[in-house]
Every structure is written in C-alpha cells, then in structure tokens.
Amino acid sequence: MSGEGLQIERPALEQLASLLLERAGLKITPDGYYGLRLALTARMPAIGLDDAGEYVRRLRGLAGETELRALLPLVTVGKTEFFRDTRQFNAFERTVFPELVERASLSARTAKIWSAGCATGEEPYSIAMVALERSAPVDIWATDLNPAAADSAAKGVFPARRLVGLSEERIARFFTTTGEGSYVVTPPVRQLVTFEAHNLAAPFWPQVSAGSLDAIFCRNVIIYFDQPTIVGVMDRFFDALRPGGWMFLGYSESLFKTPTRFEMVEVGGTFAYRRPVTPRRVPDPPRSMLTPLPRPAPSTDSRPPLVVQASSPSGLTSLVPPPPLPRPSAPPIPRPSMPRGPGEPALTPVERLRDVVSAIDQGDFPRALRLARRLVDDVPDDLAARLTLGNVYVLMGSLDEARESFGAALAREPLCVEARVYLGLAGMQAGQLEDAKIELTRALFLEPTLALGHYLLGQVNERRTDLEGARRAYRNAIKHRKAPEHELLGHFPDLPRSNEAVGQSAQYRLAAISET
Ligand SMILES: C[S@@+](CC[C@H](N)C(=O)[O-])C[C@H]1O[C@@H](n2cnc3c(N)ncnc32)[C@H](O)[C@@H]1O
C-alpha cells in the first residue's frame, strides 16, 4: 500500500495533534498539519491502514506507544529552512564547496553531495543553488526516513512563508510562482537533486558505495538517535566519504565524545568534520551522548580551514585529539571570564556559556541572567544557552520567563528532552506539582531510560504524597542506572549528572520511604 491518495480528514489531524500534545508535549497548530499529514502518509501504509481515524484509535490503544514512537521523528519533518545556519552555509559556499569541486574536476568527475535527513528539501535545494551560482557541476542525493517528505521535496513546491532565509535575488533566480501563493524551484535546481527514502539507522546502506561522496550534510537528525546508532551512522558516513570528504552536523550536535575517525575542522567561523586523507587512531569508547560543541567567534572570511583534531597531510594546523575525559559527576568547572582587550578575539559562544555557568554556580544570578540573555540574542540557535537562560529564570523565581525560554527551545527542537526536564524542575520549584509531573512524564515518554527523569518524578510523587508512584519511579531510576549516559544540554546547578549517582540517590530515597 502506498501513501498516495490517502484520505486524511481534518478531525483525525486534530485528534492526533491533541494526542501528541498530551503524550509528548508537542504543540502542533493548524499551520503544522501539513507536516502531520506527511507523517501519516508515511506511517499508515507501513502498518497496513488507510483510515486516519482508525490510525489515531490504534495510537490510543494498548500497543499505541510503540507506534507513537515510530511516528514522532516524522512529525517534526517541517523543521527545516533554506540556508539554515547561515554561518555554516557561508563556510560551505566560500571554502568547502570550491575545494571539493576542484578536487573532483582534477579527477574528471562530478562532485557528489548527500543531504541525509533532508526533510522537505530546503537543504539540498540550497546546496543546488550554491552550485548553480558558482556554475559548478554537482550531483546531490537527498534522502529522508519519511518517504512522503522525500516525495513532497521532489515536487519542489513551497508556500511563500517557507522562503524565509532566501534573498530576493535567489527567489527571483531560482523560483517561479504557481499563482496560488506558492513557489516552485526551477528545473535547473531540481535537476541537480535526486530524492529518495532512506533509513540512516539501518545497519547497512547498500545504495551507498564506499568512498563515493565528497560531502555529507546530516544536520539536526542525529538528535533523534541513541549513542550506538550515532556511532554506527558515523562509521558508515566515514566509509562513504572519499578521503578529504566533509561532513556537516547541526548547530547543537557534535561528536565531541563519540569515538570517531573523523577530524574536526574549523572553517570560516564554524566547525565541520572531515575524513582525513590518511587514517588516524580511533579514540576510546564514548562516555556520553551529545554535548555542545565549542564554537569559534563569528567570522565571514574564507581563510583555509583549521584542523583541530588529528594530523593533517594538508599541512594545516593540527592538534592531537583530546582523549575522552572521565565523565564528571558535576558539570565542568567553568573558567572565570577574562575581559578581552581591543584586537583580541571575541569570546566564543561556548566560552560565554561557561561564564554564565560560572555566575550561576557562584550564586550571582543577575550577572548570569545578563550574560545568558545577551548570548541568546547573539546566537538564537544555541539550544544549550537558551535552556540555561530558562534555568536562570527558574532560579530567580521568574517562572513565566522561564517557560517562555523553554517554549522557545521547544519551538526550535520540538523533541528536546532537556526542555521537558527543566520545565519539570520549574514546576517543582514553584510547587506546581501536577505540571511538574506532566512535563517529566513527557520527558520520559521521549527518553524512557533517562534515570534522572525517573528520579525527579519520584521526588514529585513523594511531594504529592503518592508514595506508590514515588517508589515505582525510584525503582525505574535504579533500573536505568546502567543506561547509556545522556549529558543534558544546558546547566542547572546541583543535579546528579551520572546515571550511577542518580541510581544511588534513588536507592536512598527508596529506602527512606519504604521505612515510613
Ligand atoms: C529536523 S529535520 C532536519 C532537516 C534538515 N537536515 C535541516 O537541518 O534543516 C530532521 C529530519 O530527519 C529525518 N529523520 C529522522 N530519523 C531519520 C532516520 N533514521 N533516517 C533518515 N532520516 C531521518 C526526519 O524525518 C526529518 O525529516
């Protein structure tokens, strides 16, 4: 059964939106029903259904949880835009793209780029526009888990509001209007891109030949994966790239603590990963999941890239890769802020965030607030900064502002587990225990093995005098103390950070309330 021609009526979309709000805290307004429809078009045929009402009933039923988890990554398909992350695209356009095209032309072949997790196509079409502007031949392969998203992308039709991020010149050159308030990409753009459905989490990718690609964009996708999946995907990406090939991740994603053969490279004020021209040693196994990546100060120049890991035959600056550090049970000790003099480089966002953390840990919340607000204004996509700002508000008792910050984080990253956990903490701080329980339940729906989430839920249940619920939650926290570590983005002081520490605290609480 294919998704073509499925009848998906509005009442079913409304019911689904309310179910997603209740279970995962996703707020989907009628504007987002297009994305919901795409997700249903992918999932319903996969489980042999053609009636959307029946699908929603199935989700509400006993076996619904598994299906809801399969649906979730597809639901946020709409979260993309043309030339998303301007700094990264500038670096690609000015430095990486000319280099990879030149290398390809030296061996008389066409450069090949993969947009993996392309959603509705804005990313691969942006790459195609760069290629056309530079009159450089390129082959772009664009894939997504959701076949309906890939089909929609291939049509190349976008409502006017989705063209944000595009200059007037690009709209005029690369789009024509349909006359119904929509725009369609011109044939030269479309001809450069081939769209297909493809699951990155599958253990083998028969369609991808070893050493065949010059660059891979996989931005804002690995946030959906657990650590073993990330390791597998990165391994396969590495093998798929030619030596010297490039890989781009999203702004809040990094491989900082993932064992990888990639080298990390600073290019044009942003970071990218690169398959070294010669092999390098693989670091030790990971200790935690995604961490914010240190980022350099904004820059608009097109200097050659600076290699910050591993040795580089290109003669560029090379530093030895940092061995993975033992996972701290508390957040890293921040360096005090040193004001920089004129002519010295500005602090990077990560350095600025460290200053916020330092101010929080010293109890200087007004300073933390000032610094965090400025950071979020300057780097609106920095999820860790936005979450930390929310936490500063929580610590200062400004609950409305805190919720607004977490809401803004969720608008950028709808499945952000951290925002749910911190909203739970905000509820606890304000004594709004029912709200806290809902938010923590949502966090655990998104990440069932999050020991800290179970532990906090235990605390909330204790305060609600639901001792049975508290015992259940503490037992779950203990059960998941060996789960892969998930280092939370954003800083909240005095949280037990390692699963082992969380499990121990849960054990104490469990013993204490079992005696009562
Ligand atoms: C937030 S969008 C990112 C779109 C684009 N790369 C960007 O950064 O703007 C994430 C996309 O990843 C896709 N995705 C999630 N899991 C995937 C998987 N296992 N394989 C391929 N794509 C996946 C989703 O369907 C969604 O379209």
CATH of residue 469: 1.25.40.10
431, amino acid identity = G
Residues 483 and 47: their CA atoms lie apart, in Å, by 30
Distance of CA 66 to the CA centre of its chain: 22
230 domain-assigned = yes
Give the dihedral sign, CA 368/371/375/377: positive
Of 360-374, 407-421, 449-463, which range is least confident? 407-421
Does the residue 231 lie in any domain? yes
Better-scored residue on pLDDT, 363 or 312? 363
What is the 100 CA–ligand 1 centroid distance (Å)?
A: 24
CATH label of the domain that carries residue 136? 3.40.50.150
Asked if the model's pLDDT at residue 77 lies above 90, the reply is no
- Specify the ligand 1 atom closest to the Cα of 201: 19
- Within a domain: 363: yes
> Which residue minimizes the CA distance to atom 7 of ligand 1?
80
| Residue 313 located in a structural domain | no
Q: Which of 257, 289, 307 is the last residue of a domain?
A: 307
Q: How far is CA 421 from the centre of its chain?
A: 17
Dist. CA 81 → ligand 1 center (Å): 12
pLDDT of residue 180: 81
Identify the residue whose C-alpha is closest to ligand 1 atom 17.
145
Q: What is the pLDDT of residues 214-272, one digit of tens each?
A: 999 999 888 777 778 889 999 999 999 999 999 999 877 778 768 889 999 989 888 89
pLDDT in tens, 457-506: 999 999 999 999 999 999 999 999 988 777 788 999 888 878 999 999 99
Tokens found for residue 127: 């790459």
Cβ-contact 245, 216 below 8 angstroms: yes
Query: Are residues 377 and 290 both part of a single domain?
Result: no
Q: What is the pLDDT of residue 315?
A: 25
Query: Given this model, what pLDDT does residue 288 score?
Result: 33
Distance CA 338, CA 126 (A): 39
Q: Which of 144, 193, 234 to mutate to test the pocket of ligand 1 (most atoms within 8 A of CB)?
A: 144
Question: In 3-state terms, what secondary structure has residue 302?
Answer: coil
Ligand 1 binding pocket, CB closer than 6 Å: 73-74, 76-77, 79-80, 84, 117-119, 123, 144-146, 149, 199-201, 219-221, 224, 250
Note whether 362 and 301 are same-domain residues: no
pLDDT at 22: 87
What share of the chain in percent tops pLDDT 70? 85
Spatial distance between the Cα atoms of 311 and 453, rounded to a whole number of angstroms: 41
- Has residue 321 been placed in a domain? no
Strands 175-177 and 263-267 turn out to be: unpaired
CATH number at residue 30: 1.10.155.10
| Residue 26 pLDDT | 82
- In this structure, the strands spanning 193-197 and 175-177 are unpaired
Q: Is residue 61 part of a domain?
A: yes
Do 369 and 454 belong to one domain? yes
Question: Up-side HSE of residue 389: CA atoms within 13 Å toward CB?
Answer: 26
For residues 79 and 13, give the distance between their C-alpha atoms in angstroms, rounded to a whole number.
18
Number of domains into which the chain is organized: 3
3-class SS letters over 180-218: CCEEEECHHHHHCEEEEECCCCCCCCCCCCCCCEEEEEE
Nearest CA to ligand 1 atom 15: 73
In a domain, 500, yes or no: yes
More reliable by pLDDT, 386 or 165 = 386
Measured distance CA(168)–CA(333) in Å, rounded? 46
- CA pair distance 44, 48, nearest whole angstrom: 6
CA 224 to centroid of ligand 1, rounded, Å: 8
Residue 75 CA to ligand 1 center (angstroms) comes to: 10
The dihedral formed by the CA atoms of 347, 353, 356 and 357, expressed in degrees to the nearest 10: -130
* 261 and 124 together in one domain: yes
The answer to whether residues 71 and 96 belong to one domain is no
- Is 131 in the same domain as 170? yes
Convert the pLDDT of each residue in 305-349 to its tens digit. 444 433 232 322 222 222 222 223 333 333 334 445 566 667 788
Residues 373 and 511 occupy one common structural domain: yes
Domain assignment present for 334: no
Question: 141-195, pLDDT tens digit by residue?
Answer: 999 988 888 999 999 999 898 898 899 999 999 999 988 889 999 999 999 999 9
Name the residue with the closest Cα to ligand 1, atom 8. Answer: 219
Domain range for 118:
86-307
- 45: pLDDT strictly greater than 70: yes
Q: For all residues of the chain together, what is the average pLDDT?
A: 83
How many whole angstroms from 215 Cα to the centroid of ligand 1?
Answer: 17
Q: State which of 65-79, 119-133, 342-356 shows the largest mean pLDDT.
A: 119-133
227: which 2 tokens? 């650590």
Q: Are residues 126 and 41 in the same domain?
A: no
At position 198, the amino acid (one-letter code) is H
DSSP annotation of 159 reads E
Residues 57 and 92 in one domain: no
Do 100 and 59 share a structural domain? no
**Pair 54, 123 in one domain:** no
The alpha carbon of 80 and the centre of ligand 1 are apart by a number of angstroms equal to 9
- 158 CA to centre of ligand 1 in angstroms: 18
Query: Sheet holding 241-249: strands in order across?
Result: 193-197, 138-144, 111-116, 213-218, 241-249, 270-274, 263-267, 306-307
